[in-house]
Structures are given as structure tokens and as C-alpha cells.
Amino acid sequence: MRYILLVYITTSISLTAFSQTKLGIINDPDGYTNLRNIPSNKSEIVAKIIEGEFFYFRPTQDNWWFIKRCDGTEGYMHKSRIKEIDNYSKDGKVYPLKDYEIDFETINKKGYYIRITKIDNLNYDKYSNGNDWFYSRNWIEVFKDFKEVNELYFSNIESVGGDAGVYHTEYQLKDKTILLKFGDYEGLLMIVDLNGNITKHLGGDFFITNDQKYIISPWHSDLPGLSVIDNNTNELLFEKETEYYFHEWYLVDSSYYIYGEHVSNDSKKILVLDFEKKEVEINNYQNLEYYKKYQISDWIRKKK
């Protein structure tokens, strides 16, 4: 039996978020089962669940159990049509649900869709010396016409420097999807284009300049740095380590300024981003109170 996840809309579902839930597939000789809007075989059909498709269910003492598909669709199914799954399999490895938290997120775009699979080890402390020890294991898979065209795999992301894993953002552009990876003291900003290509850049949270020309992403890292990406071509303008950690950003007229702290001597300066020189330099005017009223607040962060 080959198990699949069908994807239709952007959604994120976790086994721990859906209280007292179990993972299941259908048990139906017809190869599909109807999902009903209320617990009755005469009620409206809201979806058809096909053989091999994963879904979540909540057992009760009633004959009809509440179902939540991985695309977020909810309804009811007769318990005789439900088969509980104790393990989740991925790339030939088996992950018992008692030991791992499984999280799926799907992003549906015109012409393709993206599936993010995140497996967190619930026993990472207990089994830290095991052969297959990991904290969080993540996959980014891109599909066109229901065929996988690209994949990015992270075998182990540790929760250092913040969260651990790959995340979708609420803000998306028509010609690309932007994903963020946190953990390992190495944040990444990843762009998936319309052809399913994935490009990785050092970064993290980001904003887009007012003229829509550039994506600005300071590094989510133990090292200070900055990545600037051309928003039209998706090409990297520059990506470099800096001498200052960035605390606040300001937009004055068409120029971008930063309140930064030096990495070694803790001195604080107002910096300016020079797109032509591809540099962050110390600005001549150092009145912090002047810049504070121009602080940028529309940062784009990971979807919660």
C-alpha cells in the first residue's frame, strides 16, 4: 500500500494541535469513502477520501467520528471505514507516532504546490546517542501535475538560536513562494520560483523595500550578516558578514538606515545600506531619536 497526502489549499496541521487525535486511512473496499458534513449517511458529502490518503480522526463512543483532512477539510465518517495508523513512513524510515510529532503544511500555487513535512523527535534527550538521532527532520517537496519536481531535505535541525524547522510565511508573491528555516544558528531564506526551483540564502525574517525592488533579510545566526535579493530576478545582490548586529531598521525618504551594535566592542552606531556599493556603512548623522520615528515595522515572519 502506498500512502499519499492530497493537497489543495494552504494549510498546516499538527498531530499535537488536534487534541486527542489519531492518524488514519480508510478501510473501504470501494477505494474511497465519503466525508459527511454531519454524522449521518444521508447528510451532504463534503469530500471523498481515497485509498492511501492520510487524515486525522478523533474517536468517540458514537458510530460517526470527526475527521480532519491534511488540507483542512472537516467532516464525519463512520468508524467502520477508519483504520488507525500507528506509524508514519517517509523515505523508507518508520516514525512511530508515540515517539515523533508529525506536522504537515501545504502551499497551493498556480501551476504547482509545495508540501512541507516536519518530524520532531519527542525523545531527543533520551536517545541522544542513537544511530538515527535528530531533533527536527524537515522536507520541502515541490510538485507539478502531481509529480515531484524538486526536494530539499534537512536531516537534522537543532533548536539553537531559536526555533527549529522550515516555515511558511503569510506574505507571498505571485511569482514565488518564500520559506524560512530556523535553527542550528543558521537561518535560511528560501525562494521557490514558478518552475519549482529552490534557491537558498542566509537570512531569516525579511522585508521588501518600498519600491518592491529588493528583499532584505538579516541573518538569523550567531554571526551578523545581511542578504539582499533582487525581487524581480530572484538573483542575489549580495550576501556578506558585517561588523554590526542589526537591532532596528529605518526608512527615511528612499534610504535605509540601521541601528547596529558592533560585534566586538559593543559600540552602537547608525548605519546606512548602500545598494550600489553593496555595503553597510557608518552613517554621518548619528541622532538616534531622529531615526526612531521612521522605524520599519512591517517585517515578514514565519507563519504561526
Q: Are residues 235 and 173 in the same domain?
A: yes
**pLDDT band, residue 115 (cuts 50/70/90):** confident
How far does Cα 85 stand from its chain's mean position?
25
CB 56 within 8 A of CB 135: no
Q: Give how many domains the chain has, as a whole number.
A: 2
Coil/strand/helix, residue 268: strand
Domain that holds residue 218: 88-292
State residue 101 phi and psi, 5-degree precision.
-95, 125
pLDDT, mean of residues 50-63 = 85
Tell me which of 64, 85, 106 is where a domain ends: 85
Report the pLDDT value the prediction gives residue 173, as an integer from 0 to 100: 80
Cell 538515527 belongs to residue = 132
**pLDDT band, residue 126 (cuts 50/70/90):** low
CB 217 within 8 A of CB 156: no
Q: Are residues 240 and 103 in the same domain?
A: yes
The verdict on residue 110 lying in a domain is: yes
**pLDDT band, residue 12 (cuts 50/70/90):** low
pLDDT, mean of residues 230-243 = 94
CA distance 165 to 120: 9
Q: Which residue has the higher pLDDT, 209 or 85?
A: 209
Which residues, 6+ apart, have CB-to-CB distance to 66 below 8 Å? 57, 58, 60, 74, 75, 76
CATH number of the domain within which 53 lies:
2.30.30.40
The verdict on residue 56 lying in a domain is: yes
The verdict on residue 170 lying in a domain is: yes
Q: Are residues 187 and 122 in the same domain?
A: yes
Report the pLDDT value the prediction gives residue 7, as an integer from 0 to 100: 36
Report the pLDDT value the prediction gives residue 151, as an integer from 0 to 100: 96
Q: Are residues 105 and 73 in the same domain?
A: no
**How much of the chain, in percent, has pLDDT values that exceed 70?**
89
Residue 10 pLDDT greater than 80, yes or no: no
Q: Which residue has the higher pLDDT, 117 or 53?
A: 117
Report the pLDDT value the prediction gives residue 17, as an integer from 0 to 100: 45
CA distance 190 to 112: 16
Angstrom CA distances, 167 to 5, 37, 69, 97, stand at 19, 31, 20, 21
pLDDT, mean of residues 217-245 = 95
How many CB atoms are located within 10 Å of the residue 209 CB?
Answer: 17
**How much of the chain, in percent, has pLDDT values that exceed 90?**
59
